Structure 1
Amino acid sequence: MASNKPVILISGSDGGIGTAIVTELSEHGYRLSLAAMDTTVLMEKFGPETPDKIYQPFNAFERGSAEAWVDRTAKTFGQIDGLVNAIGLALRVTIMDDNDADLDKLWEVNVKTPLRLARLCMPYLEACGKGRVVNLISLGGKRIRNVSVGYGMTKFAAMGLTHAIRTYGWEKGVRATALCPGWVRTSMGLKSPTLKIQPDAMTDPATIAFLVRTALELPNNAAMAEMVVNCEFEDVF
């Protein structure tokens, strides 16, 4: 008998937040399609593939990689109900840095890859009548507090992408949410040169994963366009 469990693609599933999302959704009965440059990393984290969980090699810098991933997911499960873009890159490019190479990488990973995956998944999300897209943006997509302008620009663009997705898919039941956390206790966050708080004060990745599941499970008539999450006081939020 075919399963009626929702099928969710998760980009960046081998990262700190991505790993927490996989754990959260697995514990609540979702079928998952996960991708990474090296799928052995996924096997080490989550065990072998199962009827409810597949792994796909994925390179954000190769267009055909996204197409192959979505195509295999649709053929394996017969449906796609949600897309969670947890993929992200945090290269430091400031206003005075003439560094198009790193800037291009930021745009490719933080903006173009989520757009490409959303475009490829959209027919399936529309078909199910309650498709969901959750983009992990960060508070860097809401305000700028440092000179890493390359990261900030791409996160602002990712915020615009999220709103464009929800506008495009609204009439067919697609809901898109921008999840914007501040400091999250991951290896990437802990290595940030701008970090000024203690690790135990940072948001736990499991909390972000819970909010992702919340966004996936909210009904069509109670959509949240943005979830802003902070671990330190900011008077604009």
Structure 2
Amino acid sequence: MENRVALISGASGGIGACIAQLLTQRGWSLSLGARDPDALAQRFPDAHVVRHDATACDEAEWVAAARARFGRIDAVICSAGVTSPHDVIEIEDDALERMWEINVKSPRRLARAAWPDLCASGQGRVILLVSLSGKRVRSAASASYAVTKHAALALSHGLRRKGWEDGVRATAICPGRVRTNMTSGVTGIAPENMTQPENVAEMVGLALDMPNTASLAEMMVNCDPEDQY
């Protein structure tokens, strides 16, 4: 389990940055993709940082660069995500398509490009930051987002099934409201009472370190007593 290599999308801030920080402390080698790689490289000077745009279908190039740098890939962690506050009737096709690209299609492409490496690892891991919106539809305004996150949850289970015999384990992390820029406009709950991004990073760390015989298909966490189903 030494010298493990992880690719992380969405590491520029929020949950992704906390995951990158945690794995750095635990001795992982990291390849980080971001639209602003210079700023990310300043924050994580020891990481391999590349320019990545989830809407540009450039995942194969990122994986090839990471493979050339490290010679192996043991984990893919998809933390990038985007939302749109429109219900399923009001939302325009371009806004919905952007969510599909970032929340579903880009993670699939990233996992696909890294698949030979994950299988070769024998303990490959795919972590998708899905959200509790992949488990339920909380409101009409969040329903379009939930449509893509339900698909992301199914993607995680599909990857888990596909990779089982090769030791690849996929986990869907499903948090409720987390203190990030995405929830900065949420009312009714103070930021300090939300789940903290560091808490979610610890969940990712647990999923990465569990053996093949103790696969965690889904991990849910919330900051209120809402039913988790």
TM (normalized to structure 2)? 0.96
Contact (CA 8 Å) 1:93, 1:102: kept in 2 or not? no
Q: Using the alignment, how far apart are the partners of 2:25 and 2:227 within structure 1?
A: 36
Residue 68 of structure 1 and its aligned partner are, at CA, apart by: 1.0
Residue 215 of structure 1 and its aligned partner are, at CA, apart by: 0.4
Q: Note closer, same or farther for the CA distance 1:201–1:130 as it changes in structure 2 (3 Å cut).
A: same
Please provide the CA RMSD for this pair. 1.3
After the TM superposition, list the runs of 4 or more consecutive aligned residues in structure 1 that deviate by more than 4 angstroms.
Answer: none
SS at match of 1:74: helix
Q: Using the alignment, how far apart are the partners of 1:72 and 1:235 within structure 2?
A: 42
Match of 1:208 among 194, 200, 215: 200
Contact (CA 8 Å) 1:16, 1:205: kept in 2 or not? yes
Q: Which runs of 5+ in 1 are unaligned?
A: none
Does residue 229 (structure 1) correspond to residue 216 (structure 2)? The answer is: no
Count of matched residue pairs: 228
Contact (CA 8 Å) 2:133, 2:146: kept in 1 or not? yes
Number of the residue aligned with 1:130: 123
Letter in 2 for 1:157: A
Q: Using the alignment, how far apart are the partners of 1:179 and 1:236 within structure 2?
A: 13
Letter in 2 for 1:151: Y
Q: Which runs of 5+ in 2 are unaligned?
A: none
Match of 1:117 among 110, 116, 120: 110
Number of the residue aligned with 1:89: 82
Does residue 35 (structure 1) correspond to residue 33 (structure 2)? The answer is: yes
Match of 1:166 among 148, 160, 163: 160
Q: Using the alignment, how far apart are the partners of 1:190 and 1:168 within structure 2?
A: 37
Does residue 157 (structure 1) correspond to residue 151 (structure 2)? The answer is: yes
Identity within the alignment, %:
43
Q: Using the alignment, how far apart are the partners of 1:183 and 1:168 within structure 2?
A: 30
Residue 188 of structure 1 and its aligned partner are, at CA, apart by: 1.4
Q: Note closer, same or farther for the CA distance 1:98–1:181 as it changes in structure 2 (3 Å cut).
A: closer
Residue 196 of structure 1 and its aligned partner are, at CA, apart by: 2.4
Does residue 183 (structure 1) correspond to residue 177 (structure 2)? The answer is: yes
Does residue 217 (structure 1) correspond to residue 215 (structure 2)? The answer is: no
Contact (CA 8 Å) 1:93, 1:103: kept in 2 or not? no
Residue 95 of structure 1 and its aligned partner are, at CA, apart by: 2.2
Contact (CA 8 Å) 2:91, 2:144: kept in 1 or not? no
Number of the residue aligned with 2:5: 7
